[in-house]
Amino acid sequence: MNMPQPPHGQGYPIQQPQGQPPQGRPPQGPQQGQPQQGPPPHSAPTQQFQAGPGGHWDPAGPPAKPAKPPVPKVVSAIWALGLISLAATVIGLSVKEDGFNAWHSVHAWGGLAIAGALLTLAPAVATSVNLTPQRAWQVAACGAGALLLFWVLFVLPAAGSNTSLVVTIGAAAGVIAAWIAPGRESAPTQRADQHTW
């Protein structure tokens, strides 16, 4: 059975017909008694190797996907600070010191601190959740406010403990994340003679 062979010089090894051992250099033209199979050795690749999507030849391969725009440094910083804030708050509340953790004394206020730390990530996910930069900054500022309230009520009075240091780091990271977030500087200003109600 004669099977078509890929053209020589295209990166494919030459296969000898069955029954003939390879001897020296392979012949360059058709062998006597055999019809020529495929295109001549130095012609263009066959249609099988040229066709791209839709049957059109595409020498560069499939079209490249558009590159994602790089993440601005401020968004990366907000991610880092927000995650530090969240992790430090959870660790500071959960690690036992002197036989008990902070959940024994702060109760639901600890949940407020964790929610506040989570809200400081709002500017980093603003485009994903369809928030304007101004609204994302407002959400982050509320989260930072919740962290500061928790810090003043529960952490500051126990400033000598190790876990209070960790929660202080978390609160500071959350406040800084809200401070550097875009949208703060473009918040609308209100004149003194205007009323908002």
- pLDDT-based confidence at 194, cuts 50/70/90? low
- % the chain with pLDDT above 90: 51
Give residue-wise pLDDT tens across range 171-185. Answer: 999 999 999 999 877
- 3-state secondary structure (DSSP) of residue 82: helix
Helices then strands, each counted (H, E), the chain: 6, 0
* The amino acid at 181: A
Per-residue pLDDT, 158 = 87
Per-residue pLDDT, 15 = 56
* The amino acid at 87: A
CA distance linking residue 161 with residue 163, whole number of Å: 6
The number of residues making up the chain comes to 197
User: In terms of Cα–Cα distance, which of 110, 113, 105 is closest to 146?
Assistant: 113
Q: What is the CB neighbour count within 10 angstroms for residue 170?
A: 30
